[in-house]
Chain A
Amino acid sequence: MAFQGATIVAAPNEFKVPFPSYLQISKVQFQKEFGSRLLAASSWDGTLRIFDIGKVGEITEKMLFHNGKSLLTCTFAGYNKIACGGVDHNVKLVDIETGMGTLIGSHALAVRCSEYNPQTNNVVTGGWDSAVKIWDTRSYGNGAASQTSVSSSVYAMDVHNNQILVGTKQRKIYLFDIRNLQEPLQVRESPLKYQTRCVQFFPNGEAFVVSSIEGRVAVEYVDQSNDQVKRKYAFKCHREKEADGTELIYPVHTIAFHPKHGTFATGGSDGIVNIWDPFNRKRIIQLHKFETTISSLSFNEDGTQLAIASSYQFEHENDPKPLPSNSITIRHITDPESRPK
C-alpha cells in the first residue's frame, strides 16, 4: 500500500449544481455583469438552464429553456438575455426572466460557438458552416448584422472588446475587428499541430491562448511585431505518464481566464482542472480529478468561483462503461489559488 500525500484542503469549497447527471453539458458560462450570480449551462438534450449560485453553496435553478435539438453553445447577452445555438442551426435569444426564446437567425449548419460583446451589444456566432455572424441584440429579425466566412468550420471562438478570435477546423486562427468583418485583421496558422479545441483572449486582450487535442496549450500575442512574437510559447499539459514510459495525451477542451489576475484555468479529458500562471509560466494549482472529461470552465465576474462542467464528450475510442455521470461543480477559488506568484 503506497503512502499518498494526504493533502489538505480547507473546508468544503466545492458545491455541485443540481443538474441531471445523465445529460451532456456543452457549455457553462457565468454572467459577467457586476454582482451577477447567474450561471448558464447548455446541454445536448436541447435545454438551456440558468442557475443562481449563492456564495455558500445554495444553488437554485432559475430558468429552463427547451430548444428541442441539442445546444452546443450559449452566452449571456446583457443582463437579461441569453443567446444559444445548436445543431438545428438556429440562433435564439432567450429572455432570462420569462424563459421565452426568440429566433434571431441561423447558420447554414450547426451553430458551434457564441460570444457576446457588451460594447456593441452584439452576439457573435460561429458555425460548422464556416460562417461567423454578428447579431444585434437590440434589434433583430432582419438576419445577421454582418457576417463573413473563414477557412473552414468554426471550432472555437472568443470575443474581447472589439476583437473576435476564431479557431477553425483547418487550424487557422482569425482575428477580426467586430466593426469590420469583411477584412480579417490577421489570419495565422495555429501554433499547435493538432486540432484546435479552444481559444481565449487574455483579459487585457493583448494575447490569447490556444489549446489542442494533443494536450498542449500555446500563448500567443496579438501584436505581431518581432519582439512580441519572441514572447510566445507553448507547453504540454493534461498528460499522464504511464508505467512503460509512454505519455497518455488528453485533449484540452476548455480554457477560462480569471477576470482579474490574468491567470487561466484549463480543463481536459483527463478530468483535471489546472490553473496556470502565464507570466511566470508555472502551474499554480491542480484541482482534484473530476469524474470525467472537463467540457467547459467559467470564472464568475470577480474570479472567486469557477464553474466546472464535467461531461463525457464521447471523444474516446472506447466509451467508458458505464457512462460517467455528468456534473457541474462550483469551486470557490481563493486568491492564492489564482494569483500569479
Chain B
Amino acid sequence: MSDFDVAFKFLLENPTMEVFIGFATQVEMMASRIPSDEMKSNILKVFTSILSDRKFHEIRVNEEVLRIYNLLAGCSQRLGATGVYEQIEKKGYFEKSLKFHLQWAEQYGKANNLEKFKHVLDLARDRLKSTMANNKIEAGFRDLADSYFKDDVDYLFLDPDNTMAIFDSRYIGKPKNRRRSSINMLRRGCPVVDPTKKNFFGPKTKSLLRSEFLDGENGFGTSPEEFRFALLNDVAGDEMDIEMDEETHIVPNNKTADFSIVKNENRRRQLSIVDEERNTSDEADSEKKSRIYSPIVATKDAIRVPLRNASFLNEKPPTTITLSSDTKLSAFDNESFGEIEKDNNEKLREMESGRKERTSSESEKSTRSQKSNVGLDILAENNCLEAHAAFSDTVHIGKERTMMHEEHTMMEDLKSLASTQNVTTDFSVYCDPDPTFVVHSNAVNSEDVPRGLNMRYDEQSPEHQEVLKPKPVVEVGAMDDASYNTPPSTKTTEKYWDDSLIVGFTPGNVITSTPAAHIPFVNVEDYFGNTQNIEKPQEERPQFVIPDATGILQNRLNRRKSTAPAKQVEVETKPTPFDESLSEQLGRRLSLGPEEMANKLVEAAPVEVEETGRKDRRRSEVIRQENNPWDENLRARIMRVVPTPTNMHEFETISPKILAMKSFEAGGETYDIRTLLGQGGYAKVYKAITEEKKMVAVKYEIPSCAWEVYICDQMRTRLLARNDLTTQIIANQCIMQVTDAYIFSNASLLVNEYHEFGSLLDNINNSKDPNWHISCFLLVQLAKILEQVHECGIVHGDIKPDNFMITRKIDMGWEADKLMGTDVFVVKLIDWGRAIDMSRLKEREFKGRAGTEGFDCPEMIDGRGWTYQPDFFGYAATMTVLISGTYSKVVGSELGDYSLDVDIKRRNKLRDPAMEIVKDYLNIPSCSQLPKWSTAIDSFTNVWRENFDISAWRQAAAKFNEACEKSKK
C-alpha cells in the first residue's frame, strides 16, 4: 500500500477531526513527492468517501477540508481550479467561511478573471457581513488583488486602504509572495540580511541556511521551526485568514512584568483591529482562552520600566513574529469565533486609546518606516524596546570569557577538517560510512602455519624481488586478432605507458588492488568488540564451510559474495575489544589536524604497514616494484581505448545512498531497492525492482568500479564476434551482463540480472553429498566457460564457487548426450572486478598475491610470474569443493609437487580425473606452457560417457533442483 493508502485507511477507520487535520497535513507533505495525476486520483478517493460517508459529516463542512480542495484545485485539469471551487460553492457547505471565499477568489486571481473575483468578493461581503467587520473581510481580498491584478482595484473595496506603505519590501530579492502570507509576516520580523551574501558567518565561510535565522542589528532571527510552521500555514491556506495575525503575549509575572514581546501588526489596514488577545488577568478562567489570547499590553498593574536607551527608538523596531494561525480557532466552534472577535475589538479600542496618551510624548521618536497610524503598533514597539532596554543589563559572564577561546577550541586544527572526505581518509578507524557495509576481515591467527609456502610477504624474500626488466612499451590497442572488432580508433600507435608504470611504482607507496593504499586497516570486529558473532560455535555449520579463521560466523548471505581479500593490516588482538595499540598509534593523532595526520600516515606508511601489522602478513597486497595488473591507471588506460559501453552512465557527483527498502534513482530510471543479498570486500549486492517491475540485482561498490562494466562488455563483444554457437550461448547465458551501470565519483552501481537460485556455493551448501553426476555436469560447464574466457584474452582472476550463479534448474527432459552437449548451461560467471585484460597486455607477467584468502595460486605463493594461472587454480579449487564438499589447502612446496589436500572417496568416479587436473593445473611450468581446458573438458566428458546412469542422474538432478529451491531468495 502506498503511503497515501495507509494514511487514508487510517482516516477511514478513525474519522475524527484530529486525525483529519493530521491527514490533511500528510497529504500536503506528500503532494510534493508524488506526481500530480497520482495525487489527483488519491484526492478523488478521499472526496468520494468524505462527501458521501455519513461518518464524515462533521469534517465535510469543516474548513480543514478546504486544504484538500486546494490541493485538488492544483492538479485538476479538466475542471480547472476555478471549476473545483465552483463545484464546492454549489454544495453550499462553506457559505459562511471566509477562507473558502478567499481561496476561491484566489483561483480567479490566478486566472486573471477580475470579473469573477469581484463576484466572489461581493458574495463574501454579503454573506459574512453579519459575522465580521467588513475590513476584515476585505483584508484578505485586498492582498489577493494586489498580488494578481495589476490595475488599481481600489474601487472594489469599501474600506479605504492607505496602508500600502506598510508593505515595504524588507527582504531583498525574495520572490514576491502574498504579503499576508505567513512566511512574509515572519520575514518582516526578521532582521534584514542580504540573502545573496552567503558568508553570514564570517569571511571564508558559506552556509546553506536561510537568512531569516540570523540575528541582526535590529533583532533576532527566527527559528527553523517557526519558518516551517509558516510554510505549512501557507500551504494549508491559512494565510487567507485574518485571524492569522501575529501574536503578542505576556505572561503576567508578578515581579517583572515589564516586558512584552511584541508583534508589529503591519498588515493592519487603517481601521482594522487586530485580534488582540484577551487579558490573561483572569488566568483562573479556562486555560482555553488564555492559550489563544493574551494581552498585547501588560496587565494594568504591570510596572513599566522606562526606556533607557533612546537610540533604540530610531531604529526599526525589532519585532518577533510568531504566528498564530487560525488553528486555534478551529479548535473552537465556529460560532464562538465571531463573538470573541467582537469582544477583543472592544478591548483593543480601549487599550488603544489609553495607549495613545502615553506615547504622545514619544511620538516623534517613534516614527516607523511603516506609516501605520494604529496606536497599537507603537504600543507594541515600545514595549519591545523597553524589554530590550531592560535586558541590556543582564548579567553575563564577561564578554571575553563567554566568547569562544581560540586556544581552547576543541580540535582547532580540525577546522580544516570539514570535508567528510577528509575525515574518512584520516580518521578511517573512526568513521562509519555505511552501516551494512561490511568488509569481512579474514583475520588469521598468527599461530597458523603460513599457508602454502615460504613467502609470506614479499619483503622477506629478497631473492624474489628482482624487478622485471622493463618490457618494451606495448601499444595498447594493438591486438593480434583483428576479429575482436575493436573500433578503428584503437588501432593507434600511441604509447600509453610511461616508464613508471612499467617499472613499478615509487617505493614506499603501497600498491593495493583495492582501496586504502596506505592506511593501516583495523579489524573493526576486534576494534568494536562485536564479540557476539565470534561466539557462535563452528559445529553448527555443515561441512561445506568456508574455512573462516576468525571464526566469525558468516551467514549464507555473506558468502554469496565471498570475503574479499582483506587488505588489512592485522592489529594485534588484545583481550579487550578496544584496540589499544591502534589507539596509541592513531588515537593520539586525533589531536592532530587532519593534514598533519595524513602526513604522518604517509610518512609512516611503510613502517606502519609492517609494524602495526603482524610479521606474517599473508595478506600482503604489497606488490612493490612489480607489475600490478589491477592498477587503476592501467585499467583507465585500457578502458580509454574503447568507447564507453552504452549502458554505462557516468556522473561526476557522489552516488546517492543505497539502502535496503529504499528507492534509488539515477539516469532517469528508478530502482526499488529491496533486500541485501550479500556483500563482499567493498561491494554489496541488493535485490531490486525496476520500474517495469522486473527483478534485478544491483551491485553497489565503493569505490566505483567501471572496470567491471568494461570487462563484461568486452567479454560479450569478443564472444559474439566469434560467431560460434557455443560462444553465442556462453555470451548470452554464462557471462555476467551489466544491463545498466551508474558510475559516480565515489561509488558505482551495476545492474544485472537477478538469479533467484543463488550461487554455486549456495547450491553446494544446500545439497548434502552431491552425486558425481552433478559435479561432473557442472564441472564441464565451468571448464567450457573458462575456456572461452581465456580465448578472449581475459583472466577472470577470482574463480571460486561464490562467483558462479545458478541460472536455471535442470530440465529433467534433457538426455545424457544433451547434457554434455554444447548448449546446456546452468551456470553463469559473475564478479569481474578482478579481471585482467590480457589482450592489451601482451607478454606481461604479474607477480605477487591478490586473490581471496586460500585461493592464491601456487605462482602467487612462491613468487613466480603468472598470467592465466589463477583461473586454472581457481577451477581446480572449485572442483574440489564441488566434488568433496569442502575446501582444500594447497600442499607441496615446489613446482611439480603442488596439490590440494582434498579427500575424494575412491569410489567416486571423478576422483582420478580430478586429481589429474589438480596436478596439471597447479603445476604449470610457465606462462608459455599453460595447460588446456580441453583436458578437463574431455576428461570429465569421458567419465560421463562411460559411467552415466540414468536413474542416478535423475535422483541427482532432482536434488540439485531442490537445492535451487532452498537457495531461493
Contacts and interface: CB of A to CB of B under 8 A. Distances in A.
Interface of A: 1-14, 16, 20-24, 26, 44-47, 64, 66-70, 72, 87-90, 105-110, 112, 128-131, 143-144, 147-149, 151-153, 155, 169-172, 182, 186-195, 213-216, 218, 224, 229, 232-236, 239-242, 245-251, 253, 269-270, 272, 281-289, 291, 313-318, 322-323, 325, 331, 334-337, 339, 341
Interface string B745-757: 1100000000000
Interface in B394-429: 394-397, 401-405, 408-412, 414-420, 422-425, 427-429
Nearest to A189: B396
B635 to A, nearest CB: 9
B720 to A, nearest CB: 28
B681 A6 contact: yes
Contacts of B224: 251, 253, 313-315
Contacts of B22: 45-47, 66-68
B425 A5 contact: yes
Contact of A188 (B33, B402, B514, B587): B402
Residue of B20, B328, B661 with most partner-chain A CB within 10 A? B328
Given A2-B746, A7-B433, A169 B220 contact: yes
Contacts of B424: 4-5, 7
A191 B396 CA distance: 10
Interface stretch (B88-96, B143-151, B207-215, B805-813): B207-215
A336 B527 contact: yes
Residue of A108, A191, A246, A318 with most partner-chain B CB within 10 A? A108
B461 interface: no
A109 B435 contact: no
A130 B251 contact: yes
B428 to A, nearest CB: 4
A191 B294 CA distance: 32
9 contacts: A6-B515, A8-B438, A9-B528, A66-B22, A109-B324, A188-B394, A236-B415, A285-B431, A335-B578
B208 A286 contact: no
A144 B681 CA distance: 59
Nearest to A47: B22
Given A6-B516, A235-B411, A313-B228, A336 B434 contact: no
Contacts of B322: 109-110, 128-129, 153
Given A7-B428, A149-B253, A182-B255, 5 more contacts: A108-B291, A153-B320, A284-B430, A286-B420, A331-B435
A44 B228 contact: yes
B782 interface: no
A47 B18 CA distance: 9
B431 A8 contact: no
Contacts of A316: 208-210
A9 B433 contact: yes
B703 A315 contact: no
A213 B208 CA distance: 11
Nearest to A214: B201
Contacts of B23: 45
A88 B208 contact: no
A90 to B, nearest CB: 7
Would you call the interface of chain A mostly helix, strand, loop, or mixed? loop
B640 to A, nearest CB: 13
A169 B204 contact: no
B43 interface: no
B577 A336 contact: yes
B250 interface: yes
Contacts of B519: 5
B591 A14 contact: no
A250 B327 CA distance: 32
Nearest to A72: B225
B223 A153 contact: yes
Contacts of A4: 424-425, 515-516, 702-703, 746
A325 B658 CA distance: 13
B439 interface: yes
A136 to B, nearest CB: 14
B814 interface: no
B25 A45 contact: yes
A5 B413 CA distance: 21
Given A2-B703, A153-B223, A170-B391, A286 B431 contact: yes
Nearest to A275: B430
A317 B224 CA distance: 11
A189 B746 contact: no
B181 to A, nearest CB: 15
B29 A44 contact: yes
Interface string B672-694: 00000000011000000000000
Contact of A182 (B254, B261, B405): B254
A337 B430 CA distance: 9
B727 interface: no
Contacts of A239: 415, 418
Interface in B643-662: 657, 659, 661-662
A3 B515 contact: yes
Interface stretch (B282-290, B335-343, B904-912): B282-290
A6 B432 contact: no
A187 B392 CA distance: 12
A288 B703 contact: no
Contacts of A286: 420, 423, 427, 430-432
Interface in B203-238: 204-211, 213-215, 220-229, 231-232
What 10 A-B pairs are tightest by C-beta distance, nearest first?
A: A235-B410, A106-B291, A241-B418, A8-B524, A14-B435, A5-B428, A68-B21, A68-B18, A233-B408, A189-B396
A318 B18 contact: no
Residue of B287, B411, B427 with most partner-chain A CB within 10 A? B287
A90 B20 CA distance: 18
B17 interface: yes
Given A9-B438, A22-B3, A288-B431, A152 B530 contact: no
Given A14-B436, A316-B210, A68 B32 contact: no
